[in-house]
Amino acid sequence: MYFISTRGRERVTAAQAIVQGLSVDGGLFVPETFPSVSKEELEAMLTMSYAERATEVLHKYLDEYDKAGLLAACEKAYAKFEDGDPAPLVKLDDGVYMLELFHGPTCAFKDMALTLLPYLLRTGCDIVGIKEQILILVATSGDTGKAALEGFKDAEGIKIMVFYPDDGVSKMQKLQMCTQEGSNVNVVAVKGNFDDCQTTVKKIFNSEECKAKLLAKNTRLSSANSINFGRLAPQIAYYFSAYLDLVSAGQIEIGEEVNFTVPTGNFGNILAAYYAKRMGLPVGKLVCASNKNNVLTDFIRKGEYKTEGRPFYKTMSPSMDILISSNLERFLFELSGRDASLTAERMKSLTEKGTYSISDEELKAMKEQFFAGFSSEDDTVECIYDIFSEIGYPMDTHTGVAMNVAREYFEKENEDKRNMVVVSTASPYKFPQDVLYALTGNDVKDSFKGVKRINALTAMKIPESLANLRDKTVRFKTSVAVSKAFDEIMKFIG
């Protein structure tokens, strides 16, 4: 299969798309055509393990990768998850389910892709014939950074450098990143927000001067953010697996549509659900859940994407504190009828004017597939409290946003009787202070005291990786202005 740029100037193989990360024209790589999964193929996947299901989905896109090697990599990656099931589906109520994606090494959904990406990248380099050292650059709002660091630590021929907003991640997220082990890793705080980090990384990718300086050091750039299709592709698999689990449990028949509610800031997680739908998975409505930074909600409701003049809020769901949703470009490309020039024009308008709009026809088409809502801080707290009080299920703050928006959907679209799967993206223990406040109304200054008290209240198992975090040595303390980011990169590669 070939991949093309959303802005029209490149056509590459899957391996090239993964190794390169971003197109030379600044666009994102998308499949030239969407592969299909038939009803018979879905039925065959019912008895498969998660790793086998993921392999079947991934190989549809990555057909130049050896299928047996891909399966072995999936089995190795998902063996790192606690309790044997990487993506369990938990029934909360009649017709409402929680897809838990936080059982990996860093307790966040990013593990679903980033435990596998090192294999996809290293193998892609071998297929393409690249011999230079690879430098992975990551901009993170909290979870991607740690998951990428853990996935790539001590990987042969690869270095990884993560930039995070200095005051824009939770204490637990910061500690996870800054205590990271590995001889090939580096973590740097940026004085700014996530959008500053993301924009800086994109500028470096698009700078011929920066790339030339790196090549002079025998180094090529790649990305572990979801701008890289190798990060996005494994996320498609868990939507298939959730659907198949519903069939296996006798909750639905194959062919029956299911709705998904997804908390999202960068649009990658819900885009993966959209891609699954394009492949033939019977998906009904995709419910896009935002926090107070509700730029996506406004866009899906009104058809105008506007960052100019919009305030940036720091919330209790920091991984969603994003105003520039990179992966939306991939969906815009599809919405426009794959009009690369129009997509490029809209992205240019966003960069230069802070806004762009879509047509009435496009807005109508988008609303047929998406519902959008957002959750205030107070509503998120109340939702976390309500769900725990009613059924004893603890949620992290991002999942609280999703569940609150799902409840809004149930109220507004009460004629829709399809099953709803809410995507849970992080363990409550990653945000212990905010979760404890939501559950009890009590504040605690120390994250580890919060973990202890949540455990006493809920009896939910504390992930081993977080339980051991307190005793780890902080290795990374550097904080720089945005303008100094590339200087830190050059220091790192030596």
Check pLDDT > 90 for residue 143: no
DSSP 280: T
Domain assignment present for residue 234? The answer is no
Q: What confidence score (pLDDT) does residue 220 get?
A: 94
Cβ atoms 69, 123 nearer than 8 A = yes
Rounded to 5 degrees, what are φ and ψ at 136? -85, 120
Domain assignment present for residue 17? The answer is yes
Domain assignment present for residue 236? The answer is no
Cα separation, 112 vs 273, in Å, equals: 14
Check pLDDT > 90 for residue 272: yes
458 Cβ neighbours under 8 A, 6+ residues apart: 388, 392, 394, 428, 439
Check pLDDT > 90 for residue 226: no
Domain assignment present for residue 237? The answer is no
Domain assignment present for residue 240? The answer is no
Place 319 in a pLDDT band, splitting at 50, 70 and 90.
very high
- In three-state secondary structure terms, 155 is coil
229 Cβ neighbours under 8 A, 6+ residues apart: 3, 14, 17, 18, 28, 29, 30, 31, 61
Cβ atoms 29, 227 nearer than 8 A = no
Q: What confidence score (pLDDT) does residue 89 get?
A: 98
Residues 136 and 95 in one domain: no
Mean of pLDDT values over 375-379:
98
| Tokens found for residue 391 | 């059924």
Task: Determine the structural domain holding residue 182 and report its residue range.
Answer: 2-78+110-229+475-493
Residue-wise pLDDT for 350-372, tens only, equals 999 999 999 999 999 999 999 99
Residues 24 and 91 in one domain: no
Domain assignment present for residue 407? The answer is yes
Cα separation, 380 vs 342, in Å, equals: 37
338 Cβ neighbours under 8 A, 6+ residues apart: none
Residues 258 and 171 in one domain: no
Q: Which of 235, 204, 280 is nearest to 492 (CA)?
A: 204
Residues 74 and 219 in one domain: yes
Cα separation, 128 vs 36, in Å, equals: 26
Residues 266 and 300 in one domain: yes
Residues 342 and 446 in one domain: yes
Place 385 in a pLDDT band, splitting at 50, 70 and 90.
very high
Residues 92 and 68 in one domain: no
Cα separation, 110 vs 104, in Å, equals: 9
Check pLDDT > 90 for residue 423: yes
Domain assignment present for residue 387? The answer is yes
Helices (H), 354-469: 360-369, 377-391, 397-412, 432-440, 447-458, 464-467
Amino acid at 486: F
DSSP 355: E
CATH of the domain at 169: 3.40.50.1100
Q: What confidence score (pLDDT) does residue 380 get?
A: 98
**Total count of domains within the chain:** 2
Q: What confidence score (pLDDT) does residue 78 get?
A: 97
| Tokens found for residue 490 | 């050059």
Q: What confidence score (pLDDT) does residue 84 get?
A: 83
pTM of the model: 0.94
Write out the E strands in 154-246.
158-165, 185-190, 219-223
Residues 97 and 208 in one domain: no
Total residues found in the chain within this entry: 494
Residues 62 and 192 in one domain: yes
Beta bridge partners of 135: 159, 221
Residues 486 and 429 in one domain: no
Q: What confidence score (pLDDT) does residue 494 get?
A: 86
Q: Could you tell me what percent of the chain has a pLDDT over 70? A: 100
Residues 258 and 209 in one domain: no
Q: What confidence score (pLDDT) does residue 128 get?
A: 95
Cα separation, 240 vs 54, in Å, equals: 8
Residues 266 and 391 in one domain: yes
Domain assignment present for residue 469? The answer is no
